[in-house]
Amino acid sequence: MSMSLQSALESSLTSLQVLAQQTTLISNNIANANTTGYEQQDLQQIELISGGVGSGVFASELQRLTDQAASGVANQANGAQAYSQQMVNLLTQYTQVLGQPTDSTSLPSMLQAFNSALTTLASSPSDATAQDAAVTAASNLADTLNGLEGAVASARQQADAGVESGVQNANSLLGQIAQNEASLQSAVAQGQPTASYLNTRDQLISQLSSDLPVHVFQNGANGITITTDGGTTLWDGQVHPLSFTPTPNLSATTDLTGNLASQVTVGGQPIAISQSGSIAANLAARDQVLPQIAGQLDQFAGNLISGFQSADPTVGAGQTGLFVDSGTPPASGTTGLAGTIAVNPLVDPAQGGQAWRIQSGVQATTQGNAGDTTVIDDFIGALGNTQSYTATGLPSSMSLTAAASQIAGLQQSTLTNWTSVNTARTTQAQAATTALSNATGVNVDDQMQKLLVVQQTYQASAQVIQVASSMMNDLLTAIQQA
């Protein structure tokens, strides 16, 4: 009889211990229901059997509700969204300066204002006020190109800084993964629960996927190898850190092709990654998207300089026209011209020139006939003359007027396209995250029901202990009185 009561007490006491652990675990699950990447944990009771008789319970190993396939899909979707989001961020910065084609300060509007000023001057060629207005309009056009080239440079510098920030964050996460792995392996060696370490690992990898596209491979029972999707190893029991050196004084046209120092490397080799994650987006924007935008502006500036030089009958061999390259030294091609184009000092009163030259010719030695509109008409014609464009994403031949509209439209549409892509990818990332959460996350209603059952079981076990204890006391009293 006493042995049965003792067994009941022991069973109930071990049950209370396990139920207390389950209560803590369920409470922790509920508390982390909204924690991104948290995977639900479960703890089961296992009955102890001795001689065919139950002799108590013990807690099973802590289990995680995990789904590696859903986790991989979510990481890929998050990386793709991080890429498109960074493209939107960088292009938004530039296009705020670019403006819409119809804005008064846009490149097409400034070119149209210059055309209007020339047309007004043609009706009153000797009018000093009209001459000044035409020179001012030409200067405003050059200043607009300068500002746009500067905005490209600023966006490239932001992208370069973004690469540095992404590399620092990725290395920090890899360091945290290394620390977590050391704790995990220690827990394995000591036979301690590992679920919390595995959960932390998954969360860190999820965060890393926003910087880099990663693949995870199992390496033994609990170990892993982490690589980029291009095969560069980041973790295989030790961290392989990323290296990056920011490019100082990065301009809109700085060519980084073949410059290993400007690339992200691991072990001295360029990292192999696809178009996923913020680091890849910043590199692509810095080295491809923004330089193409600068190339469009530079070719336009080059054609503006050459077009007005050819249109001016007073300009001889080796002489400059209405627009010049103010760079030191002047560019031998078109690279960088949008940043250095200016109105010829010979025409600009602010630089000691004479505004009448816009009517008589930039290289004219004396002021021409007051009613002569030959040069002005040639200047107006220059805006409509067809010129060539190469390797910039623009049509191969068009007028300056058409080119200004094409540039503004194409550059705005680049942002529009990436915004549309980002909207779709954001939806996909949210869907993948929701699917992962549904598969591995915390169902609060389910956990509350489990908590209620645990509480009821706890009360029942406590009542068994109370009854058994009372019966044991009665038994002892009876024995003592016998």
Q: Is residue 145 part of a domain?
A: yes
- DSSP structural state of residue 258: T
Residue with more model confidence, 27 or 358? 358
Q: Is residue 434 part of a domain?
A: no
Q: Is residue 437 part of a domain?
A: no
Closest CA relative to residue 379, chosen from 367, 396, 362: 362
Residue with more model confidence, 444 or 424? 424
Q: Is residue 287 part of a domain?
A: yes
**Euclidean distance between CA atoms 404 and 389, whole angstroms:** 12
Q: Is residue 285 part of a domain?
A: yes
Q: Is residue 372 part of a domain?
A: yes
Window from 161-165, 286-290, 324-328, 455-459 with minimum mean pLDDT: 455-459
In the three-class reduction of DSSP (H, G, I as helix; E, B as strand; rest coil), residue 197 is classed as helix
Instruction: Answer yes or no: do 30 and 99 share one domain.
Output: no
- What whole-number percentage of the chain has pLDDT above 70? 79
Can you tell me the mean pLDDT for 60-88?
Answer: 81
pLDDT above 90: residue 56: no
Instruction: Answer yes or no: do 8 and 76 share one domain.
Output: no
Number of domains in the chain: 2
Do residues 219 and 226 make contact, with C-beta atoms less than 8 angstroms apart?
A: no
Q: Is residue 440 part of a domain?
A: no
pLDDT above 80: residue 66: no
Instruction: Answer yes or no: do 362 and 238 share one domain.
Output: yes
Do residues 51 and 11 make contact, with C-beta atoms less than 8 angstroms apart?
A: no
Instruction: Answer yes or no: do 77 and 213 share one domain.
Output: yes
Q: Is residue 158 part of a domain?
A: yes
Do residues 461 and 12 make contact, with C-beta atoms less than 8 angstroms apart?
A: yes
**What string of DSSP letters covers 345-376?**
TTT-GGGT--TTHHHH-TT-SS---TT--HHH
Can you tell me the mean pLDDT for 189-201?
Answer: 87
Instruction: Answer yes or no: do 80 and 221 share one domain.
Output: yes
Instruction: Answer yes or no: do 368 and 472 share one domain.
Output: no
Instruction: Answer yes or no: do 321 and 454 share one domain.
Output: no
Task: Determine the pLDDT at residue 482.
Answer: 64
Task: Determine the pLDDT at residue 195.
Answer: 82
3 pLDDT tier (thresholds 50, 70, 90): very low
Instruction: Answer yes or no: do 20 and 109 share one domain.
Output: no
**Euclidean distance between CA atoms 113 and 193, whole angstroms:** 74
In the three-class reduction of DSSP (H, G, I as helix; E, B as strand; rest coil), residue 147 is classed as helix
pTM, two decimal places: 0.81
- What whole-number percentage of the chain has pLDDT above 90? 66
Task: Determine the pLDDT at residue 106.
Answer: 95
User: CA distances (Å), 331 to each of 72, 335, 400, 407, 444, in order?
Assistant: 50, 7, 20, 22, 67
Instruction: Answer yes or no: do 44 and 78 share one domain.
Output: no
Instruction: Answer yes or no: do 76 and 212 share one domain.
Output: yes
Domain encompassing residue 399: 71-429
Ranges of beta strands (E only) in 390-482 are: 397-398
Task: Determine the pLDDT at residue 78.
Answer: 94
pLDDT per position as a tens digit, 394-423: 999 999 999 999 999 999 999 999 999 999
pLDDT above 80: residue 180: yes
Instruction: Answer yes or no: do 475 and 410 share one domain.
Output: no
